[in-house]
Amino acid sequence: MQVTTMAEMAARGETPEVLFWVGCSGSFDQRAQKITKAFVTILNKVGVKYAILGKEEMCTGDPARRAGNEFLFQMMAYQNIQVLNGYEIKKIVTACPHCFNIFKNEYPALGGNYEVIHHATFLQQLIDEGRIVVPEGGAYKGKKITYHDSCYLGRANDIYEAPRKVLEALDAALIEMKRCRSNGLCCGAGGAQMFKEEENGTTRINIERADEALATGAQVIASACPFCNTMLTDGVKNREKENYVEVLDIAELVASYL
Amino acid sequence: MAYIAQIAFIALAAFGIYWFSRNILRIRRNILLGKDEKLNDRSGERWKNLLLMAVGQKKMFRNVPVALLHLIVYAGFIIINIEVLEIVLDGVLGTHRLFMESLGGFYTFLINAFELLAVAVILACVIFLVRRNVIKLKRFISADLDGWPRSDANYILITEIVLMSLFLVMNAADPTVNGRFLVSGEIAPLFSGMSESTLHTIERTAWWLHIIGIFAFLNYLPYSKHLHIMLAFPNAYYARLQPMGKMENMPAVQNEVLYMMQPELAPTGEAQPMKFGARDVQDLSWKSLLDAYSCTECGRCSAACPANMTGKKLSPRKIMMDTRDRLEEVGKQVDAQGNIKDDGKSLLHDYISVEELRACTTCNACVQECPVGISPLHIILELRRSLVMEESNAPQEWNGMFSNIENNFAPWKFSPDERDAWAQA
């Protein structure tokens, strides 16, 4: 794929319109890599001048901070801010709500001030500006899609409408789960839960949420977070519905039209 | 003889108000045992929060029928208390229905309104009792409330019903009003045929029980979950105005890392020993302690908590109740000894277990749901900081994640050289 790194761009004396922060999940998780590629496909097609940090990118420190390890978080934040400020980055887009939240709300206190935009809002803007044109009668026209709110996009940062507007632009039949928007139920991954076994309980959070999504009868469960995607994919598999219901990121849905 | 009643009344009122103030000052002192946090900026937004959240009960309206019932009890309680003004003045001055003559028809209108509200409050309280004890809504039968908290809730509802009933009986048995009020006028026939002195005794008894009940209720508040009727207001005012996703920074750790990376910036001299996160109530922000006293244990937080609904031990409501209980305990030590002494106990471990803390997904559903702007998440995260940074107490998988982040710059064990490998594939 045609992807330029910041180092290459800086060497040419150029500056990007926006830095695409890929995040650990988007970089290493096989499923999430597909989301990254879909988003890059869109950026390339639309002609956005962007760059990635490539090997210079590091974990933002979100799971460490939420688990209670402030030292590790501060170490990661320090190094990332050094790199970002070194390249004089002004604007960051990311497909991960956790990275988005930490750049937007927590890096400024540490000297990292950037305009941060989540890819849901970014895609909505591209559609609004007419830079992405969804052809009439696409694959998802009239298809039942339900959208799962990521906690770090929704409650944490009040972004509920942007991802829904993207789905509406696809002419899909959007149906809501019982718990949606500010009532949305967590997928179970946040607060560093992604990296440990769940505590003892009667069921798993991702199964509870997958059941709710499946109950809508939607053919597609859309999300805008790589961790939610993993959790819901596992939940759907647990119910042996993976042949009937797809769990897709909004970027993958948009990219399928291009 | 009349003077005795007046003196008795003034003594009752003075003692009631004195004892209440004493307890409120104690609670204030306890709250200020917490760590400093600056929450008095942006006063315009804060007043707006107070008006919308506390006065307007905006967040209650996430469930409209219940919000309406609650509004009746809340508005009824405040409006009917206007009548208490007359009762207090009568008590002090030895008068009887001080405003009846001068206000005339308007007096009748006011008391009619109070009586109708009193009936509405009684009905709402009965519905609330049924929801708690007959229908047994999940959040009300939860183990969080076992023992005193469950009785506390019922006592409050029963007291409200009794107070409202006494108000109606007082009006019904009063021969000077001639059964002219809407509701008590309907009850009055029950007393027909009774002698004037019997009626007088009933009226006086209801009057005294009503006002004694009000002072008793006032003094019950500092010991009860019902304290929210007062603390909801400051708690809404001081609610954090930042996006819910934001976690508090730790400047001490930030500087520590800075000095490690750029040793030339480090100050010379002995480093102060530092304490990270919260192990006990006095390590929490004063706002978290105000939160604890403002909690009315409704359980909307726990009902929305993904961990709680899937059977994990975590219950955000219990986090708040534990914090208040422990703070009361620490407060008693301060009462007895003048300062905080190590009693071998702490909020972490003795009240809130590691398993509870580990179950949180930081999804903010509890914060979103709280009608009075409480953040259980804030406490959870501060306790987690103490667990990990003071005790190195983390599950093995988290320790693995930490070392992966430190060495490979990602929470998984991948080589950092592979970070952009996806672009080549």
* B113, B15: one domain: yes
For residues B361 and B230, membership in a common domain is answered with no
- CB-based burial, B169-185: b 16+ in 10 Å, e otherwise: bbbbbbeebebebebbb
Q: What is the pLDDT of residue B79?
A: 86
* pLDDT at residue B384 greater than cutoff 80: yes
The domain in which residue B362 lies consists of 276-414
Q: From A196, which residue of chain B is nearest by alpha-carbon distance?
A: B397
The H or E element containing residue A18 is strand A18-21
The reply to whether B203 and B303 lie within a common domain is no
Indicate which CATH number applies to the domain containing B282: 1.10.1060
- pLDDT tens column, B115-164: 999 999 999 999 999 999 999 999 999 999 999 999 999 999 999 999 99
Contact call for B245 and A28, based on CB within 8 A? no
Mean pLDDT of A142-168: 97
In a domain, residue A229? The reply is yes
Boundary-marking domain end, from B208, B237, B266? B237
Domain limit, last residue, from A102, A123, A144: A123
Chain B residues within 8 A of A68 when measuring between CB atoms = 277, 381, 384-389, 394
- Pick from A2, A178, A183, A195 the residue to mutate for testing the B interface (most B CBs within 10 Å): A195
What interface predicted TM-score (ipTM) does this complex get? 0.97
Distance from chain centroid for Cα B394: 32
d(CA B65, CA B163): 24
Contact: A78, B314; criterion CB under 8 Å: no
Identify whether residues B203 and B282 lie together within a single domain. no
Instruction: Provide the CB-side half-sphere exposure for B352 (13 A, CA).
Output: 34
Instruction: State which of A123, A142, A157 marks the end of a domain.
Output: A123
Q: Which residues contact B351 (CB under 8 A, 6 or more apart)?
A: B322, B323, B325, B326
Same domain? For B233 and B280 the reply is no
Whole-number average pLDDT of chain A: 97
Distance, CA of B182 to CA of B163 (rounded, Å): 18
Contact (CB, 8 A) for B29 and B281: no
Do A153 and A42 sit in the same domain of this protein?
A: no
pLDDT of amino acid B1? 57
**pLDDT per position as a tens digit, A161-203:** 999 999 999 999 999 999 999 999 999 999 999 999 999 999 9
Does A117 reside within a domain?
yes
- The pLDDT value recorded for residue A177 is 98
Measured between alpha carbons, how far is A11 from A213 in angstroms, rounded to an integer? 47
Q: Is residue B140 part of a domain?
A: yes
**Pick from A1, A155, A189: CB nearest B368:** A155
Same structural domain, A12 and A66: yes
pTM for the whole thing?
Answer: 0.96
Nearest CA in chain A to B363: A151
Identify the closest residue of chain B to A5 by CA–CA distance.
B420
CB < 8 Å to A52, chain B: 420, 423
DSSP A150: P
In a domain, B399, yes or no: yes
- In a shared domain, residues B206 and B291: no
Question: How many domains does chain B divide into?
Answer: 2
In tens, the pLDDT along B25-52 reads: 999 999 999 999 999 999 999 999 999 9
| Last residue in a domain, options B180, B207, B237 | B237
φ/ψ of B266, rounded to 5, equals -65, 135
CB contact under 8 A, B247 and A65: yes
pLDDT reported for residue B2: 67
Could you tell me the residue range of the domain that residue A163 belongs to? 134-255
CB pairs under 8 A between A and B: 211
Write out chain B residues lying below 8 Å of A105, CB-based. Answer: 242-243, 245-247
* Number of structural domains found in chain A: 2
Q: Which residues of B touch A71 (CB under 8 A)?
A: 253, 256-257, 389
